[in-house]
Amino acid sequence: MRAALVSPERALWEGDAEVVYARTLEGELGVQPGHVPLLGVLAENGTVRIHPADGGSPVVAAVSGGFLSVSDDGVSVLAETAEFADEIDVAAARRDLEQAEPGSSEALVAEGRLDAARHAGRS
């Protein structure tokens, strides 16, 4: 199944994927080939994980806002902002989290980034 992770400023990843996990407003969601067409709004603090079909290590990225679009020919994650987990500045994200008001959207974004970093085994 074709999968793409794109943000307005760049295309982060594109290729064949076995399964794509993302978090919509409803909750965590996994998409495998043959999923019904779906359009979901991504959460502010989402982590997207794409497991490539060739069995390579999963692509992990922190995304905030945007859409998940599943159609017959593949999955696209249209993130408003997206960042690969290994590009995340963990210290800066922690600082943001401490300074942000709990529950505010900045706090959610910082949480999402830390979450993604944890998924990639960096914490």
Partner 1 sequence: MPANIRVLRRRIRSVQSTKKITRAMELIAASRIAKAQAQVAASKPYADEITRVVTAIASTSGVSGVMTTPREDASRAGVLVVTSDRGLAGGYNANALKTAGQLMTTLSEEGKDSELFTVGRKAVSYFSYRGRRPTASYTGFSEQPSYADAKRAADLAIEAFLAGSDGDYEGPDGERHQGVDELHLVYTRYVSALTQQATAVRLLPMVVEETDEPRPENLPAYEFEPSAEVVLDALLPRYVESRVFAALLESAASESASRRRAMKAATDNADDLIKTLTRSVNAARQAAITQEISEIVGGADALAAR
Q: What residues line the site for partner 1 (CB under 8 A)?
A: 4, 6-11, 14, 24-26, 29, 36-41, 66-69, 71-72, 76, 78, 80-81
Distant-in-sequence, close-in-space partners of 110: CB < 8 Å, separation ≥ 6: 93, 94, 96, 97, 100
Task: Choose between 72 and 98: whose C-beta lies nearer to partner 1.
Answer: 72
Q: Which is nearer to partner 1, 53 or 81 (CB)?
A: 81
In the bound state with partner 1, the residue whose beta carbon lies nearer, of 17 and 78, is: 78
Half-sphere exposure of 13 (CA within 13 A, CB side): 26
Minimum Å gap between C-beta 25 and partner 1 is 5
CB of 66 to partner 1, least distance (A): 7
Output the furthest CA–CA distance in the chain (Å, rounded): 43
Least Å from the CB of residue 119 to partner 1:
22
Q: Which is nearer to partner 1, 106 or 118 (CB)?
A: 106
What is the CB neighbour count within 10 angstroms for residue 6? 16
CB of 122 to partner 1, least distance (A): 26
81, two tokens: 């902002």
Contact indicator for 61, 48 with CB cutoff of 8 Å = yes
